[in-house]
Structure 1
Amino acid sequence: MNHEHSWHSMTPSGQGTVMLNIGAGIGALIINTPGGMHGREIEVSPVEDPTRRTHAAVRARYVWGGVCFSVVLDSLPEGRYTVWDNPVTPLGEIDVPGGAVAEFTWPMASVPV
C-alpha cells in the first residue's frame, strides 16, 4: 500500500476552533488518545474497503479544565470504519452515523512505550 501523507501543524487548537462537515449521510469521528501520541498520524478506512484510507494527526486540544489529545475526522460517509494501529494492523471498528459524531477511545494497551 502506498499512502501519501501531508504534514500537519502540531500547534494546539483553541476552544471552539474545530468546524465539522456533517449532515445527511455524512458524519465525523473523534479518536481520543493519550498525550504520548501527540503528532502521530492515525488512519481509518471503511470496513469494506481497507485501501480507502483517510488520516489525521493527534493534536492537543484545550478544553474546559485542561487539555485532551485527539484526532478529528469529518466528512466521513456514514458507515462502519476500521481504526488502524499501524498500516497493517487494525485496532478496532466503529460506526459513524450520518449527521452526528462518533467517538473512539484509543486503548491504553496499544499505546507505544
Structure 2
Amino acid sequence: MTTPVTTITVTANTDQVTLVNVFTVAPERQMALVEALDEATRQIFTTVPGFISANLHTSLDGTRVINYAQWASEKHYKDALQRADVREHITKAAAGADKWDPTLAQVQSIHHPGRA
C-alpha cells in the first residue's frame, strides 16, 4: 500500500466533492478489500480526469473500510463512473464487501484547533 504525504486540501463552497464510501466486510476480508481498493486507485483512478485524492481507512473492529476520495466536481465523478475500467473496479470492490454505502458530499464548514 502507498503511504505518501497527504495532498488533501479541503475547501468549503467550491465545486469540489468528496466521496465517502463505507464498505461493510467480515474482519477476515478487511485487508483484502483495502489492498484491492489501493491497487485500483493507483492503477486506475490516478489517471482519471478530475480525480484529486483518495484515502483508505479501516475501522478498528475490522468490519468497515472507508474510502474518502476527492473529486474536482460532481461532473468529473459522474464522468468517471461511465468509464469501463472504473465500473469494473467498482464491481470487484463490491464483490469483496457485504454491503457498501457511497455518499457524495460537499464541504460546508472547516474547523481547526485555535481558529475561530
The answer to whether TM tops 0.5 is no
User: TM-score band, normalised by the shorter chain?
Assistant: 0.3 to 0.5
Length-normalised TM-score, structure 2: 0.39
TM-score by length of 1: 0.40
Larger Cα Rg: Structure 1 or Structure 2?
Answer: 2
